[in-house]
Amino acid sequence: MTTKNESWGSRIGLILAMAGNAVGLGNFLRFPVQAVQNGGGAFIIPYLICFLLMGIPLLFTEWSIGRFGGKLGNHSTPYILDSMSKKPIWKYIGVFGIFTNIAVVAYYTYIESWTFIYVLHSVFGTFTGMGKEEVSLFFDHYVNLTGSDLGIPFLPILVYILILGVNVYILSTGLGGIEKVAKIGMPLLVVFGIILAYQGWTMGSDFASAEFPNANAWDGINFLWTPQYDSLADPKVWLAAAGQIFFTLSVGMGSIQCYASYVRENEDIALNSLSAGFTNEFVEVLLGSAIVIPIAAGFLGLDWVMENAGFGMAFQTMPYLFQQWGAVFGAIAGISWFGLLFFAGITSSLAMGTPWMGFMKDEFGWNKVKGAISFGLIALAMGLPTVLFYQYGYFDEYDYWAGTVSLVVFALLEIILFGWVFGIDRGWAELNRGADIRIPSIYKFIIKYVTPVLLILVFIGALVTPQGNDWSGALATLLEGNGFTFDSSSLISKITQEDVKEQLLLNPDKADFFEKKMLFTNLARTQLLLLFLGITVLVWYSTLNRKRKTL
């Protein structure tokens, strides 16, 4: 076991790096879509409650776990968790903290490559004169590899490798390089966000077209910020809000623990964790909600937004809308929007490399360059299929299992470890040691009881989601003895591939496509399983190495 020989250069650098880890593509792409799909203002109250009862407790927990393990010379979740219990099972549960980061970065950097190439297209004026359908098809051709722009064959693959290479290079410079990127990227991200948010908030109905004469940006803003208290009784909205908290704060991944393991033993983590968390919320709630939805509503109307809200809006709709402001400001808006997404992405993906590098350095003595290159090669092997077989759901499988299910499972297990195995009294003392603020004592109760219960409910809700997310109807049907029908989005349906089989039945003329999709779905799951097992074997082998060194 090595001693800690690297730490953060400054407090502001640490906070910005942690905030950069949390502030990602989900703040600008997923949050507004989730809000629209779950009733706008109906989503906000459950979301904020989940932030207070799940987000903050998990931030406290992960910062505390990370610093505790770091002072013992551990910088990756297998041995950080192992240091908190005498039971060897916890080091293998810690495998999630390396596995999730590698699996997510494999496809996450692909999205980063989209944002990078779209910045270039905004500079070149590629979208000038294109209609709505042309811009949408441009994205489809890009991700399906059915057409290459700039005259370069297989450009998406080359750009993906380039962006992954940029991540590897910065990681090879250590915490100092990550800190520099955070200090540059986070302020630029906020500046770009403010430019676009200001434009979204001041559009009004000035840009309504003949096709959408009633379009008004303020309809989108009012829809998002008018509370609807009846949503408090809707399990579907609560599940969506809880899920967004995981995406937005990057909890349950293992990267926060790794970053925190480089914090000095008596350095504050209470205020630092809150600062990083609230910085993320500022970006997400104030900026994230003020760009896509208001701008789209200002040009196309709220009804169009509610009908078409989805992840693809960022790439398939926004470039077209920006051109409505004219060639010059359209280019500025495009550079700001995709530049914002690029910096949001790269500050998050850099955090995903540190758990693997910390593990390989601690257990096998690998230096930063060797650790970064090995991380890049594994990510490339995992990620290339998401580029080549995007249309067959390879990307979606990674996102679901590694970017969703794995987060909830790991977060639940680690908070049980912190509150019940390590002990809430010891955990509370660790959290408050060196703290610059006094944490309300109610959070001691919340961390031990409330957050674990909420996480269990989230997991059960995802496991057995009823058809159409109609919980009241499904329970009534069950009590009547007529069974319980699972939604295609439920974990059970995903495991059995009922979602794909259902699509096959509805579209028999596309049987060949859906059969290929089932094949590639199984291949993606196999690849993820092999990655998890491979890391588990490395942890087992490193345990033998540790035992040999103590003999």
What is the structure's pLDDT at 172? Answer: 96
**Rounded CA gap, 225 and 209, in Å?**
25
Q: Which two tokens stand for residue 491?
A: 């974990």
Are 311 and 29 spatial neighbours (Cβ–Cβ below 8 Å)?
A: yes
Reading the block at residue 244, the tokens are: 């967004």
Residue 345: per-residue pLDDT: 93
Q: Which are the contacts of 240, defined by CB distance < 8 A and separation ≥ 6?
A: 34, 37, 38, 43, 46
The 3-state DSSP composition of the chain as helix, strand, coil percent (nearest 5) reads 75, 0, 25
Q: Give dist(CA 95, CA 538) in Å, integer.
A: 10
Angle among Cα 516, 520, 525 to the nearest 5 degrees reads: 150
Q: Can you list the domains of the chain with their CATH numbers?
A: 27-463+497-550 (1.20.1740)
pLDDT digits (tens, 9 = 90+) for 30-54: 899 888 888 888 888 899 999 999 9
Amino acid at 237: V
Residues of the chain with pLDDT below 70 are 1-5, 148-151
> Could you write out the DSSP letters of every residue in 462-501?
HHTPBGGG-HHHHHHHHHTTS--PBPTTSHHHHHTTHHHH
Closest CA to 340 of 386, 380, 290, 411: 290
Is the Cβ–Cβ distance between 174 and 6 less than 8 Å?
yes
* CA–CA separation, 260 and 195 (whole Å): 32
Query: Residue 38: its pLDDT value, please?
Result: 86
Q: Tokens for 212, please give them.
A: 């959408």
Could you please report the per-residue DSSP string of 427-450? Answer: HHHHHHTT-SS---THHHHIIIII
Q: What is the pLDDT of residue 1?
A: 40
Q: How far apart are CA 333 and CA 433, in angstroms?
A: 45
Q: What does the pLDDT read at residue 4?
A: 44
CB 101 within 8 A of CB 255: yes
Q: What is the pLDDT of residue 200?
A: 87
